[in-house]
């Protein structure tokens, strides 16, 4: 029975070890140098340097064991569906694994991922980020604020918990609304704005005119 209990605790132990050896909240994000993307080929290498990205925005970096497998696809599709809210909160999204560019590109094309996939077959960057369990990538995600401070570190999580945890962080940070939406709400109304629309249902057409003047809305129906 002892070996069975050990097996049950293996994932939790690996996650605890990763937290000890990897990143913690408040750390400076390491300089990983250029990392190949899914667009890279032998003839034309395409890379991204996350340190450069962090000068302009935050990043949300998620990790998965292998492209085009069920759990990894669930996780990646979850972040595909959250992409708008993550971008609105100020985070560029990147997926990362040890897969080669061609495998990543095929997977991205198949599932229409709107973000960049990073490729680290050498495992060097993945090791520096604390997401390796032996030679396997541990499912995880990290939020890093603009400027390079680590805000969230989640090692050894399930696909659903990764998706939900990221959504909770963004919602908590923005007060329940994407940053872009908040900016729209706070934007001042124009001094005067007129919009016309027609209702063509039924026998008689109606023309409705909305006029915004000094914060008040006037409706005129012709």
The catalytic position among 72, 77, 119, 201 is: 72
Residue ranges in 82-205 assigned as alpha helix (H): 83-88, 101-111, 124-128, 159-174, 179-186
Residue 1 has pLDDT above 80, yes or no: no
Confidence of residue 176 (pLDDT cuts 50, 70, 90): low
According to the model, what pLDDT value does residue 206 have?
39
Whether the pLDDT of residue 97 is over 60: the answer is: yes
Q: What angle do CA 153, 159, 161 make, to 5 degrees?
A: 60
By DSSP bridging, strand 132-133 and strand 206-213 are: unpaired
Kindly state the average pLDDT of the residues 50-77.
Answer: 97
For 26-43, write each residue's pLDDT tens digit.
999 999 999 999 999 989
Closest CA to 19 of 119, 144, 156: 156
Give yes or no for residue 183 having a pLDDT over 50. no
Give the rounded percent of residues in the chain with a pLDDT score beyond 70.
69
72 is catalytic: yes
CA distance 177 to 200: 35
CB contact at 8 A, 50 and 32: yes
Decide if pLDDT at 119 tops 80: yes
Residue 192 has pLDDT above 70, yes or no: no
What is the spatial distance between Cα 188 and Cα 165, in angstroms, rounded to a whole number? 34
User: What does pTM read for this prediction?
Assistant: 0.71
What pLDDT score was predicted for residue 123?
A: 96
State residue 22's pLDDT score.
Answer: 86
Q: How confident is the model at residue 128 (pLDDT cuts 50, 70, 90)?
A: very high
| pLDDT for the residue numbered 132 | 95
Answer with the residue of higher pLDDT: 209 or 158: 158
């Amino acid at each position: 029975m002892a070996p069975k209990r050990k097996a049950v605790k293996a994932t939790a132990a690996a996650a605890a070890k990763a937290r000890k050896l990897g990143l913690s909240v408040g750390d400076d994000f390491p300089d990983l140098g250029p990392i190949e993307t899914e667009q890279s080929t032998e003839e034309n290498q395409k890379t991204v340097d996350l340190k450069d990205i962090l000068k302009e925005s935050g990043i949300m970096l998620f990790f998965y064991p292998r492209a085009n497998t069920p759990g990894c696809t669930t996780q990646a599709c979850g972040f595909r569906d959250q992409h708008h809210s993550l971008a609105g909160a100020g985070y560029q999204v990147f997926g990362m694994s040890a897969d080669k560019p061609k495998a990543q590109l095929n997977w991205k094309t198949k599932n229409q991922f709107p973000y960049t996939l990073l490729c680290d077959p050498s495992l060097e960057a993945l090791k520096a980020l604390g997401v390796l369990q032996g030679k396997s990538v541990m499912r995880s995600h990290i939020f890093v604020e603009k400027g390079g401070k680590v805000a969230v570190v989640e090692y050894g999580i399930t696909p659903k918990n990764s998706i939900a945890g990221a959504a909770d962080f963004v919602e908590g940070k923005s007060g329940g609304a994407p940053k872009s939406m908040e900016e729209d709400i706070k934007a001042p109304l124009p001094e005067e704005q007129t919009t016309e629309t027609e209702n063509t249902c039924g026998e008689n057409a109606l023309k409705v005119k909305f006029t915004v003047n000094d914060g008040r809305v006037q409706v005129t129906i012709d």
